[in-house]
Amino acid sequence: MYPVSAEHSADTGLHWGFFFDTPLFMSKASYIKLFSGLIFAITVIGGWYLFRSAESLGNEISTKFDGKRWEVPAIVYARPLELYPSMVFTADLLEKELQLAGYRKENPVTVPGGYFRNSSSFNIITRGFHFPGGIEEPTELLITFKDNNVDTLLSTNSDEELPFFRFDPARIGSFHPLVHEDRIVLESSEIPTLLRRGLMAVEDKDFLSHLGVSPTGVFRALLKNISAGKTVQGGSTLTQQLVKNFFLDRERTISRKLKEAVMAILLEYHYSKDEILTAYINEVFLGQDGNRAVHGFALASQFYFRRDLSDISAGQLATLIGMVKGPSVYDPRKYPASCKARRAVVLRVMLEDNILSQGDYDRALTEPLTDVKVQKNGFNRFPAFLDLVRYQLQSEYEKEDLRGNGLRIHTTLNPQVQWQIEKSLGDTATSLKKSDSKNDIQGAVLVTGRENGEVLGVSGGINPLETGFNRALDAHRPIGSLVKPAIYLAGLEQGYTLASPLVDTAIQLEHGGDQWNPQNYDKKEHGRVLFYQALSRSYNLATVRLGMDIGLDNVIATLGKLGFGKPIHPYPSLLLGAVEMTPLQVSQIYQTIASGGFYLPLRSIQSVMTQDRQLLKRYGLEVEQRFSPPLIQLLTHALERVVSEGTASSYRLRSNSIFAGKTGTSDLLKDSWFAGFSDTFLTVVWLGKDDNSSTSLTGSSGALKVWGNIMDNLEAGTDLLKVTPSPEIVWARIDENSLKATSMKGSGTTVLPFLVGTEPDFPPKIPDTGIKAIEDGARKFFEKINKIFQ
């Protein structure tokens, strides 16, 4: 001990008496008082902290649970299949459409969504569907076919012949949130009682009595795990599982487990048991479909059994309940043995808890896991078309609306058209591979309705399931001679006729100090040709001379009126297609021609509805007349000549329909195009390579073959191209040399349409008196000859 000096003692104010007067140990009562104070302080501070934490967690729970609980993807539907008696249709096509729409093949057919085929006869129970115009209830149908036509269309509910029937449309895709979760959200009233009771019996027997956590459940699970020597049962309640899936991450820590328990208690405090169980049934993860996570019992029922949840059997319901424990481990398609064993456990629990009778248990135990085959359904089956739908919706809806608000989007997709596109492109790729194994050609196709501008099918590449770069929408390529109809239409507007003479001889042009010497594809000059011939035979020199005569600005203005909205530089090379467009943009231009001069914005969407089936918007037909229909009739006739006698005549179409169209080839054979239409369809085809190298294909040797194959198959059994006769059009036979009208048939003459007043005149007629004098003179001459020989 160090001594303390008197001075130090005085300076610090300390006295020795202080040490001797203060007790070294407090009394017992003082200790209790101090400890009690500390406990009280800790309790107050801890309670305040817990209260604040609980309040924060409660707010977090309420914010999410009271708001939008799930990011429900927008669902995209194809057009509904419509049938009527005598319609050209086949039994195979109907079955293919039913399978795309997720129908089950079964016998007997007992619930909606099932069908049975017996050769050319079908028994079907359709699913009810909420169309924009209202709900259509399920219907039992008998449909028969004869000679590739619908023969019988009978409602077996009422035993009456139907003049028409519309099926529920196929779900062809969805726009997912970033997490790629998908679900069908059920209301409490839509949940089967058997599912409620079975789920609680297997996963949480004390669900109706506990407050979010269950000590007895934990103890029960502990005993079973000890008895089994491994983990066979968890102690988490349904409420805890919901909290873990809905609010928390997958971290395995003590703090996260404590947070889960607190949040479960708070969830039970704020919400009813029914709300919690309903949320769980909608939330639980039950499998994976590619990159799409299957959540909720309703979607899982559709995914595994192609049935609504209300229509599945007790055995199928037990299968889904069993999968809650591990969807990947008990997947009925991948691991049927494990799934069947797990189903047996679930069924035994349901029997012991008197949820199933002995008879129901026995039947469920012996039934197969699933009674439907794994089929390629329509979920995101047509990615190029979905890209177009998204593209056309983005100007009206935010990405979040499309990804998370559960919109119902009804589209114009015709699966039969789409399948034909895919087949024709695939066959072309296969053919080219045979001749050149290194050929990496790509392609894009759009098919639209000629009279309404509805997009019926799209392919953005040779592989129809390929996602990413969609060439139909995003490949900007030189269009070559596809530009020529715009030039000739501008010429018709300025007074040219189909019989006007054009000069197909060499021409040299200068632009910006550079000289341009265009050539014909065959490197020849053809001299004087008729207007329609220059277009049908795709003569470059005549086209350039025509374009320069009418003016580049007029050509650009015509392209704009046809529907191309991008700026174009007025270079002379524009006249031979030195302008880049996508197949979608080309389709819009040719749509205006095909529809008789009326601009119809191409559309892939018919209507949009909210998640609760309220109509948001119906996309009707928009029409704007931009050209005189008689002028378009003249142009259409010239485009018909392209197919019948011009650059597209090499492909012999099997159909009886009349077609009109135009070939297109870019420099160095880098792009092969064909755009053309019939009475029903407009189709645009592009073939090329992504690296912009040569394809060695012209428009006629490449794209035309794909186009012809598509149109031949789509037009089988349809009518001829119908052009309503116009009182402003007259037809005249002309002599191609004199350009005069003639009544003489034969080579060197042709029949062409003209605007009234522009048709050529007949040559001056010899007066009847002159003819009679010639005849008399000839008679007298022959009489004299006869007298000589007599």
| 173: phi then psi, degrees, rounded to nearest 5 | 170, 180
Q: How many CB atoms lie within 10 A of CB 49?
A: 10
775 counts as catalytic: no
Q: What whole-number distance in Å separates Cα of residue 192 and Cα of residue 472?
A: 46
Q: What six digits make up the tokens of 63?
A: 């914010």
Question: Tokens 């909608």 — which residue?
Answer: 282
747 counts as catalytic: no
Residue 292 host element (H or E): strand 292-295
Cβ–Cβ under 8 Å, residues 321 and 199: yes
Q: What whole-number distance in Å separates Cα of residue 565 and Cα of residue 338?
A: 60
Q: Find the angle CA(213)-CA(346)-CA(188) to the nearest 5 degrees.
A: 60
**Which are the contacts of 37, defined by CB distance < 8 A and separation ≥ 6?**
none
List 615's β-bridge partners, or say none. Answer: 609
Catalytic residue among 97, 181, 203, 715: 203
Residue 580 burial (10 A CB sphere; 0-12, 13-18, 19+): middle
Give the 3-state secondary structure percentages of the chain, helix then strand then coil, rounded to 5: 40, 20, 40
Strand locations in 460-545 (E): 477-478, 501-504, 509-511, 514-516, 527-530
From the list 705, 440, 446, 464, the residue with the least C-alpha distance to 581 is 446
Catalytic residue among 481, 538, 666, 700: 481
Q: What whole-number distance in Å separates Cα of residue 487 and Cα of residue 774?
A: 50
**Which are the contacts of 561, defined by CB distance < 8 A and separation ≥ 6?**
592, 599, 626, 627
SS (H, E, C) 33-50: HHHHHHHHHHHHHHHHHH
List 116's β-bridge partners, or say none. Answer: 123
Tell me how far apart the terminal alpha carbons of the chain are, to the nearest angstrom: 180
List 683's β-bridge partners, or say none. Answer: 447, 676
Q: What whole-number distance in Å separates Cα of residue 325 and Cα of residue 320?
A: 10
Residue 761 CA, chain-centre distance (Å), reads 55
From residue 103, alpha-carbon distances to 114, 145, 167 in Å are 5, 19, 11
Q: What whole-number distance in Å separates Cα of residue 671 and Cα of residue 689?
A: 8
The residue length of the chain stands at: 790
Query: What is the C-alpha R_g of the chain?
Result: 40
Q: Is 688 helix (H, G, I), strand (E, B) or coil?
A: strand
Residue 45 burial (10 A CB sphere; 0-12, 13-18, 19+): exposed
Active site members: 203, 481
